Every structure is written in structure tokens, then in C-alpha cells.
Amino acid sequence: MRILLLGGSGQVGSQLLLTLAPLGEVIAPSRADGWDLSDPSDLAFRVEQLAPEVIVNAAAYTAVDMAEAEPALAHRVNAEAPAALATAARSLDAWLIHFSTDYVFDGRGSRPWCEDDPTGPLGVYGQSKLAGERAIEARHARHLMFRTSWVHGPRGGNFIRTMLRLAGERESLSVVDDQVGAPTGAPLIAEVTARAIARVTARETTRKTAPVQKALDLAGTYHLAAAGEASWRDVACEALEHAKARGAALRCGPEQVQAIPTTQYPTPAQRPLNSRLNTRKLREAFGLALPAWQDGVHQTVQALLAANPPTSSSQA
Ligand SMILES: NC(=O)c1ccc[n+]([C@@H]2O[C@H](COP(=O)([O-])OP(=O)(O)OC[C@H]3O[C@@H](n4cnc5c(N)ncnc54)[C@H](OP(=O)(O)O)[C@@H]3O)[C@@H](O)[C@H]2O)c1
């Protein structure tokens, strides 16, 4: 099976390089190879030339605050490029696997969001990701779309990396505690994605010989997040606690992390207060168990400490 992976240098994409490998031949061209998704004009043509059976799009414009000043660029990468990928998927009869975000919701209430709940993005990033979802659906390509939340992992910039750095530099931290969601590790997202691809493509190959449920029955949008819920402050405390337990010499421990409301940490883009995602549909459709968010946080802390053990100068 030939798989085209876009965004292979990102948090999720770099993990997908590992988890997709056993499924077949993975082609992962980068922006440096000329695959710039901000110019999607010939993207469908390029994809069709490669003729993959599965297209995995882990590329995205993810700078939530910068997007407020660059709406056209965010729209090209997050909506027009996915539209072109869906066009190619449709003409190749390939599967398109795409990722979206909790930021498509407005964050009202405290109930975990279901896939069919009304959307209402609060900022440009969420709007552009929602436009990407709609563009894919409108092209009727076979697709799996995974909305995930608060991604972290061993590679790239993320909240846990920032907390470990700041805790090495400062004696106290103030962290928002009224935005609630589930931090989700890129390795988990990549593992679930690979299993889902294996499942839908296996169903297809057996379709002709056995009366199995059609793979197409599994197509659609799913919420993919670690189990449980946390505020950003909870995540910071869990990460610092685990880092200390693993021997990191931090100036700021969990006891020195002050809770502040979002109103005391203004950002260019407004974030949803309720980022909880209901993952029942994914777990039932694919027969998966999703681990607690703390497991993923521990995994990322360990990976970051192993890659960059705290030194005396970084603790000063
Ligand atoms: N990060 C989060 O907290 C979060 C939360 C919810 C959902 N998501 C979604 O999850 C998916 C993966 O996110 P992530 O955190 O892995 O993203 P990431 O670490 O920011 O990586 C983004 C990837 O997209 C590529 N990319 C960006 N602009 C590009 C362009 N113009 N042309 C070609 N490639 C481009 C980057 O390539 P370069 O290395 O060349 O820049 C990189 O490989 C995205 O769909 C995102 O919207 C993320």
C-alpha cells in the first residue's frame, strides 16, 4: 500500500512516520521538497501523479495567535490545501486522513463535545480548520477526520516543553485554569491513526469475499483525545511533578504554579473554555481504549528530558 504523508516534520507527522511504516510504502515530501501547502494550485495534480492509496494530511498552519494576523495564509493551508487533497483522493478513489481541532467549537458549557454538535470557532485558526473540514466533506472523498486537542510530543514546540523550560528559569509560574480539555500525545494520535487506516483498508480487501461491513461505513469525523480532563494548570503541575520525580532540577515545582483565569492571560486569539471532546464514537467504531492524559504527559516529559537533560546553566 502506498501512503502519502504530508506534514511529516510536525508533532503528529513525525510520529506518523513511525506508525505508518509497517502499513506500506510511506512517501513524505516536505515543504523543502517543494510541497508548500500555502500554494495549493497544483496540489491535486501532484498527488494524482503519485497515485497513493492513502493520503495522510498532518500538515497545517497551527500558529493560533499568528493566524489572527494572517487569515489568508491560514485559509490556504488549512482549507484550500485539504480541499485539493480531497479532490485528488476522490479522483484516485483513495482514502484521505485529515486532522482537525477542538478549536472548531465555541467552548460554551462543560459537556464534552460530540462530533455532530454545532461548531462556532472563536478565532481565525478554528475558522480555517472548520473550512477545511467542510471542504473535504463537500468533495465526497472517502475520509477519516480526527479532531484532536492540546497536542504535545517529543518533537516541536508545545506547552509541556515550554513549562519545563520556564520551570528551569523561574521560581513561580502563573497558568490558566479555566480552559479545560485533554492534552493528547502525538504518539497516541499516530498510533490510533495507523490502526484506523489498517482497519479501513483491510475491510476493503476482504469486501469482495466476505459479507463484512463496508469500510465506507467507518468514514467520517471522530474525536480523538486522551481520556480524562484537565486545565492547563493541571497539565503544568503533572508535567513538573513527573519531571521532578525523574530527577530534573527545577526552580519551580507544582506547588509554585499559580492558577489564573484566561482573562489574566490575554492572547490575540480567543480560546474555547470547554475543549472537552467526547471520544465514544471513535472507541466504539474502532474498538479502542484511550489512555489517561497523564500517561501521555509522562511520556512526553520523559522524552524531552532524555533529549535535553537539564544542565546547571539551564537551571540558573
Ligand atoms: N498542536 C495542537 O495543539 C493541535 C491541537 C488540535 C489539533 N491539531 C491539529 O493536528 C494536526 C497536526 O498538528 P501538529 O501539532 O503536529 O502541527 P505542527 O507540529 O505545527 O506541524 C505542522 C506541520 O505542517 C507543516 N506545514 C505548515 N505549513 C506548511 C506549508 N505551508 N506547506 C507545507 N507544510 C506546512 C509543517 O512543516 P514545516 O516543518 O515545514 O513547518 C509541519 O510539518 C493539525 O491538523 C492541527 O491543526 C493540533
Which residue's CA is the closest to the ligand 1 atom numbered 39? 9
Distance CA 113, CA 118 (A): 9
Interval between CA 38 and ligand 1 midpoint (Å): 12
pLDDT one digit per residue (tens) for the chain, 316 residues: 999 999 999 999 999 999 999 999 999 999 999 999 999 999 999 999 999 999 999 999 999 999 999 999 999 999 999 999 999 999 999 999 999 999 999 999 999 999 999 999 999 999 999 999 999 999 999 999 999 999 999 998 899 999 999 999 999 999 999 999 999 999 999 999 999 999 999 856 555 554 445 677 899 999 999 999 999 999 999 999 999 999 998 999 999 999 999 999 999 999 999 999 999 999 999 999 999 999 999 999 999 999 876 554 433 2
Has 125 been annotated as catalytic? yes
Atom of ligand 1 nearest to the CA of 35: 33
User: In testing the pocket of ligand 1, which one of 5, 9, 62 has its CB within 8 Å of the most ligand atoms?
Assistant: 62
Interval between CA 175 and ligand 1 midpoint (Å): 24
Distance CA 278, CA 227 (A): 9
User: In testing the pocket of ligand 1, which one of 46, 104, 128, 151 has its CB within 8 Å of the most ligand atoms?
Assistant: 151
Distance CA 28, CA 16 (A): 10
CA distances from 152 to 147, 149, 176 (A): 14, 9, 17
Instruction: Copy the grid coordinates of residue 289.
Output: 481504549
Interval between CA 208 and ligand 1 midpoint (Å): 37
Terminal Cα-to-Cα distance of the chain (whole angstroms): 51
Distance CA 159, CA 156 (A): 10
Q: Which residue has the cell 516541536?
A: 156
Q: Are 215 and 204 in contact (CB under 8 A)?
A: yes
Interval between CA 63 and ligand 1 midpoint (Å): 9
Which residue's CA is the closest to the ligand 1 atom numbered 24? 59
Cα 31 from chain centroid? 19
Q: How many CB atoms lie within 10 A of CB 311?
A: 10
Q: Give strand pairing partners of 100.
A: 147
Q: Are 192 and 48 in contact (CB under 8 A)?
A: no
Atom of ligand 1 nearest to the CA of 63: 20
pTM here is 0.94
Determine the pLDDT at residue 312.
42
CA distances from 287 to 50, 219, 279, 283, 308 (A): 32, 15, 12, 5, 36
Determine the pLDDT at residue 316.
28
Q: Beta strand 230-231 with 180-181: parallel, antiparallel or unpaired?
A: antiparallel
Which residue's CA is the closest to the ligand 1 atom numbered 18? 10
Interval between CA 16 and ligand 1 midpoint (Å): 12
Q: Which residues contact 102 (CB under 8 A, 6 or more apart)?
A: 113, 147, 148, 149, 150, 181, 225, 272, 275, 277
Atom of ligand 1 nearest to the CA of 157: 19
Determine the pLDDT at residue 83.
98
Distance CA 100, CA 103 (A): 8
Q: Are 76 and 38 in contact (CB under 8 A)?
A: yes
**What residues line ligand 1, using a CB cutoff of 6 Å?**
7, 9-13, 30-31, 35-38, 58-62, 77, 99, 101, 129, 148-151, 156
Helix (H), strand (E) at residue 3: strand 2-6
CA distances from 155 to 160, 161, 255, 307 (A): 11, 9, 27, 10
Candidates 61, 125, 222, 265; catalytic one:
125
- Report CA torsion sign: 270, 275, 281, 282: positive
